[in-house]
Chain A
Amino acid sequence: NAGVTQTPKFRILKIGQSMTLQCAQDMNHNYMYWYRQDPGMGLKLIYYSVGAGITDKGEVPNGYNVSRSTTEDFPLRLELAAPSQTSVYFCASTSGTSGPYEQYFGPGTRLTVT
């Protein structure tokens, strides 16, 4: 199993550009999550999904969009990038069929918006 994979590892965007952060898992997990991590702030939930076709907002969804067309993939879209979106982004997944459910994390994408 590759677990949770994320691409790219690093990216620099100019203000106003858009991009998609890719996330995939091969564990047949129902639940998937996107977090951002800023120094001293812990992890903040951006969006999550409980299955294909179902997504919901987390704490900090503004400026982001997601879709979940398959169980495996959960891409995060940034529209009109802003410096405030400079962060490290983590995708995670969990089974959702029996608990408690520890989350499995990808290696992260480090994004800089200048």
Chain B
Amino acid sequence: AQSVTQLGSHVSVSEGALVLLRCNYSSSVPPYLFWYVQYPNQGLQLLLKYTSAATLVKGINGFEAEFKKSETSFHLTKPSAHMSDAAEYFCAVTGGYQKVTFGTGTKLQVIP
């Protein structure tokens, strides 16, 4: 069984401020973890993924996430928010490749 909890359905940050989106997971097997981004009226696209090769994962557009097994967390961060980062972000977990469980999403608002 696997599940994902994203804390905060809406997050607002000022342009240039740190972005922190929280994700905690539960998995009965070693997990693979993903962050996806969805821009308005579009499908989801992969931001980054954890494959067990390295605990700090770098993705596109300056985002990164750190896998912390002891905290069962995979939080997404970006040092400096840009207006173009405004979107909805989904954390996802899978124990294999057949089924992926998605979180409920966090909408990021960037205030100029």
Contacts and interface: CB of A to CB of B under 8 A. Distances in A.
Contacts of A41: 104
B112 interface: no
A50 B42 CA distance: 25
Nearest to B51: A100
Given A100-B32, A100-B51, A108-B43, A94 B97 contact: yes
Given A42-B90, A58-B99, A107 B42 contact: yes
Contact of B46 (A4, A58, A95, A102): A102
Interface of B is mostly: loop
Chain B CB within 10 Å — which of A31, A101, A102, A106 has the most?
A102
A18 B46 CA distance: 33
B104 to A, nearest CB: 4
A48 interface: yes
Contact of B32 (A35, A58, A99): A99
Given A40-B104, A102-B46, A105-B45, A45 B99 contact: yes
Contacts of B9: 40
A96 interface: yes
A99 B102 contact: no
A103 B98 CA distance: 10
A101 B51 CA distance: 10
Interface of B: 9, 32, 34, 41-46, 49, 51, 90, 94, 96-100, 102-105
Interface of A: 4, 31, 35, 40-43, 45, 48, 50, 58, 90, 92, 94-96, 99-103, 105-108
Given A99-B32, A105-B43, 6 more contacts: A45-B100, A50-B98, A100-B34, A101-B32, A102-B34, A108-B42
User: Top 4 nearest A-B pairs by Cβ distance?
Assistant: A105-B43, A100-B32, A42-B104, A101-B97
